[in-house]
A and B are shown apart, each in its own frame.
Chain A
Amino acid sequence: AQTVTQSQPEMSVQEAETVTLSCTYDTSESDYYLFWYKQPPSRQMILVIRQEAYKQQNATENRFSVNFQKAAKSFSLKISDSQLGDAAMYFCAYRASSGTYKYIFGTGTRLKVLA
């Protein structure tokens, strides 16, 4: 069975600095998708960035980028120039490209941004 592990329950970063959130996963599939979702306090979960496993190039979205290491089954999120609005829970998620289309979420990392 697929699993997603986020080993950092909480992280802090100074405003304007860079922070990296870690995620590892386990799967026997060769083709899949990985996601980072952001859940601000009492607000809706939104997609931050996604990565297709067959693509070697790391995905980037403005200040957000990933370091995808397929062999190591690692998928970390880097937030550059952190802003107060980045404070939220961040969830790493996995979905196989075929089969049940079930999303597997990690337990989340709470990011605090210090002014």
Chain B
Amino acid sequence: EAGVVQSPRYKIIEKKQPVAFWCNPISGHNTLYWYRQNLGQGPELLIRYENEEAVDDSQLPKDRFSAERLKGVDSTLKIQPAELGDSAVYLCASNSGTSAYNEQFFGPGTRLTVL
């Protein structure tokens, strides 16, 4: 079974440029999470989807960040325009339900560097 797939793995952009990250969760997983992990820190939730509905986006900086999960499968996270402080690893995770016992599976992440 394929794991959570993310692309690209690395991205370097100039500040004020747009950038997008893509995530394909494990087949059948209806819950999808986007996290931001700053250097030396733990992951922080940006947004959580249940199927195609964003049920928790309270930590998403909506002035520059947007996300979508059309058809409740893969998802895209966008930043426009990027700022220097957005440099981080962006992690996608999925699981098969809202039960905490259901393990979260993480993707390899996208390392974003904003110059």
Contacts of B48 in A (CB 8 A): 101-102
Q: Chain A at the B interface: mostly helix, strand, loop or mixed?
A: strand
How far apart are the CA atoms of A50 and B91 in the complex, in Å?
20
**CB–CB A101/B98 < 8 A:** yes
* Complex Cα gap A101–B101 (Å): 11
**Does B3 interact with chain A (Cβ within 8 Å)?**
yes
A9 and B40 CA atoms in complex are apart in Å by: 9
- CB of B56 within 8 A of CB of A105, answer no
Q: Which of A46, A100, A105 contacts B42 (CB 8 A)?
A: A105
- What distance in Å separates the Cβ of A97 from its nearest Cβ neighbour in chain B? 6
Q: How far is the CA of A52 from the CA of B44 in the complex (A)?
A: 22
Q: Complex: how many Å from CA A4 to CA B108?
A: 23
Report how far A45 CA is from B33 CA in the complex, Å: 14
Q: Does B76 contact A (CB under 8 A)?
A: no
B64 CB, nearest partner CB in chain A, Å: 22
Query: Is the Cβ of A46 less than 8 Å from the Cβ of B98?
Result: no
Q: Interface centre among A9, A45, A96, by most B CB within 10 Å?
A: A45
Given that A44-B3, A44-B108 are contacting pairs, would A108 and B100 also be in contact in the complex, using a CB cutoff of 8 Å? no
Check if A95 is an interface residue, CB within 8 A of chain B. yes
Q: Are B91 and A45 in contact (CB under 8 A)?
A: yes
Given A33-B100, A97-B100, the answer on whether A44 and B106 have CB atoms closer than 8 Å is: yes
**Complex interface: chain A residues within 8 A of B42 (CB):** 4, 91, 93, 105-108
Whether A103 contacts B106 by the Cβ 8 Å rule is no
Identify which of B42, B101, B103, B109 gathers the most chain A CB atoms within 10 Å of its CB.
B42
Q: How far is the CB of A11 from chain B (nearest CB, A)?
A: 15
With beta carbons under 8 angstroms apart, the residue of A44, A47, A105 that contacts B107 is: A44
A-B contact pairs, 13 of them (CB 8 A): A33-B101, A43-B108, A45-B43, A47-B103, A91-B42, A91-B43, A93-B42, A101-B48, A102-B45, A103-B33, A103-B45, A105-B44, A107-B40
3 interchain residue pairs of minimum CB distance = A105-B42, A33-B100, A45-B106
